[in-house]
Amino acid sequence: MPTYIALVNFTDQGIRYIRQTTERAKGLVNAASKMGVTIKDIYWTMGPFDALFTADAPDDETMTILAISLGSLGNVRTQTMRAFSADEMTSIVGKLPRMDIVSAK
């Protein structure tokens, strides 16, 4: 199952209700599960992002639906990235065609 990393920033509404952030995270885990998405880890962070979570989802469409649904609640904005394990990356680079390009002089 594909893995995703979502970077999270609180909206004004999300920060106003920051005391509920861990309860909202539990709600995310439950809602995601109903969609076939497994939330593997959730971290609250310091720096340019307020939190992040990692998830396994059946496909890009399902993960996009989860991210849009989450954003529509108004507490966070997300930036979601597809992540590749070492085994997946080995398979990907193993499929690269050989490129014999003559450099221009």
Per-residue pLDDT of the chain (105 residues; tens, 9 = 90+): 999 999 999 999 999 999 999 999 999 999 999 999 999 999 999 999 999 999 999 999 999 999 999 999 999 999 999 999 999 999 999 999 887 776 666
- CA separation for the pair 11, 58 (Å, rounded): 28
Count of structural domains, the chain = 1
Q: Given this model, what pLDDT does residue 100 score?
A: 74
- State the pLDDT at residue 98: 84
pLDDT at 99: 78
Is 105 within the bounds of a domain? no
Task: Report which secondary-structure segment, H or E, holds 8.
Answer: strand 3-10
In a domain, 97, yes or no: no
The H or E element that residue 71 is part of is helix 60-72
Rounded Cα gap, residues 24 and 93, in angstroms: 39
Residue 101: inside a domain: no
Q: Does 60 map to a domain?
A: yes
Q: Which domain holds residue 52?
A: 10-77
The verdict on residue 38 lying in a domain is: yes
Structure tokens at 84: 């590749």
